[in-house]
Structure 1
Amino acid sequence: MTYNSLFSVLTDESLVEETLAHATSIATRHDAHLDVLCLGVDRSQSGYYYSGASAIVLQETIARAQQEAAAIEAKARAVLKNSALRWGIESGVSQLADLGRHVAARARFADLVILPQPYGKGRGAELEPVTESALFEGHTPVLILPSEGETSPAPNRIMIGWNESNEALSAVRAALPLLKQADAVHVVVIDPPTHGPNRSDPGGLLSH
């Protein structure tokens, strides 16, 4: 089992090189195709403007978002142009409230989505809905890249947060390509139930 199709979303020009460096490393490791969506985001809320100004503001913000998308796409192509990977790039513009539809429609066809950390200093407001839409609307496993430090395309030690839920089991199945390559996998159970068939060996069935 491996990842054949990877997907990443870029909405911030300053995160292009960092995100694609990790994505290409993982794609190379799995011999996967990498699809990249470059989005310029219209962050305006036209309802807050006085009557008659909305159309003017919308035109300006859409034009700005188009420029951002073009700049992100150009930088992404510059990063990937000499890569031996199979890759594709698509660009477009979306309003902040409509991001989920664009991301989920593409994420659902990928084996793994690779995204930058959505929270922290200097992170845009659009990164959170991008992450959530890939997870909850696209129903696709998402690998979040840390804002600092190195990320290995083949981690040696992996920790699983286990609570016997369907969601936890789905996450484990989605991570099997990484789990199989790891040297050690730790199953962590917080406050396991005191009653039940697995009370003497919490998480034991997962290791079989």
Structure 2
Amino acid sequence: MALKDILVHLDSSQHCRARVEAAASLATRHGARLTGLFVRTTPHVPQFVMSQLGPEVTRAQRRYAEEASAKAKATFEAVLGGFEIASEYRDPEGELLDTLVLHARYADLVILGQYDRRDDNMADEREAADQVIMDSGRPVLVIPYAGQHPRIGDKVLVAWNASREATRAISDALPILQTAREVDVLAINPHHNGVNGHGDIPGADICGHLARHGVKAVAEHVVAHDVDVGNLLLSRASDSGADLIVMGAYGRSRLRELVLGGATWHILHHMTVPILMGH
């Protein structure tokens, strides 16, 4: 599958412009159409507030949403002024997460921003990445709120554990891997046998599969049972200069990761480079 239809979520946060710049660069590289999606969230006003203040509260909220949409559109168009790509701006009204999931289903790739609890304009986005990853059926590229990421996919680190989720992520990321300058496939604490087994040489089979798709990948594996997998991935990405991590998301339930911890949860909260996740 080629990347021909990319969707980027727009909001009022201070990180929106950098997210659009990263999305526009990726769309240019792959000759894709870029759609900017701003969701004008439906006002939820308690009945007792309505009874005291009347419908003016709802009208004020709608005016605020319209002004925020206009600013997001201006940012989107200002960034795209420096790129020669097909584009579209959308600003439907609705519930944020449901609307994101709905529009994501009609794109090849969805680009979201990492949740920043310090930015009040992202207050409704705490569960956005989780929801779109789990419910859209599409790969999700999450851009960290820290730093600039103008070019994504030159040097890619693939987290491989031979699971269904990792298999899906690699398939989803194939167009990016095919244009990458360098691809490293890393297996952490690999199992040799079973349905999620790696075989005698961890990573060798998936690298062979990638080679048949024109991807020159190098397989590595590490054994470090006393180190958190999420921390190890981020550390390896930093040491190698990777500008993208590709990994499967939520091999076990989100609730279990919240309680016991897990690589997906850790990465989404501590990411330092863009992460492409498939589920």
Once the two structures are superposed, what CA deviation does each residue of 1:90-120 show, in whole Å capped at 9, x if it has no partner?
11333xxx21221112111111112222235
Q: Is the 8 A contact 1:36 1:89 kept in 2?
A: yes
1:40 counterpart residue number? 40
2:180 and 2:117 map into 1 onto residues whose CA distance is 29
Per the TM alignment, residue 18 of structure 1 is displaced from its structure 2 partner at its CA by: 1.5
1:187 and 1:125 map into 2 onto residues whose CA distance is 35
The one-letter amino acid paired with 1:27 is A
2:19 and 2:27 map into 1 onto residues whose CA distance is 12
TM-score, length of structure 1 as denominator length: 0.82
Q: Which moved more, 1:7-16 or 1:196-205?
A: 196-205
Q: Is the 8 A contact 1:13 1:75 kept in 2?
A: no
2:192 and 2:13 map into 1 onto residues whose CA distance is 50
Q: Which moved more, 1:13-22 or 1:162-171?
A: 13-22
2:203 counterpart residue number? 203
Per the TM alignment, residue 67 of structure 1 is displaced from its structure 2 partner at its CA by: 2.1
Q: Find runs of 4+ consecutive structure 1 residues off by over 6 angstroms.
A: none
Q: Is the 8 A contact 2:18 2:149 kept in 1?
A: no
Q: Is the 8 A contact 1:47 1:54 kept in 2?
A: no
Q: Is the partner of 2:35 in helix, strand or coil?
A: strand
TM-score, length of structure 2 as denominator length: 0.63
How many equivalent pairs are there?
204
Instruction: Give the RMSD, CA atoms, in angstroms.
Output: 2.7
Per the TM alignment, residue 51 of structure 1 is displaced from its structure 2 partner at its CA by: 7.1
1:106 counterpart residue number? 103
2:146 and 2:116 map into 1 onto residues whose CA distance is 12
Q: Which 5+ residue runs of structure 2 have no aligned equivalent? A: 209-279
Q: Percentage identity across aligned positions?
A: 25
Q: Is the 8 A contact 1:135 1:142 kept in 2?
A: yes
Q: Which 5+ residue runs of structure 1 have no aligned equivalent? A: none
Q: Is residue 2:170 matched to residue 1:164?
A: no
Q: Is the partner of 1:66 in helix, strand or coil?
A: helix
1:82 and 1:185 map into 2 onto residues whose CA distance is 29
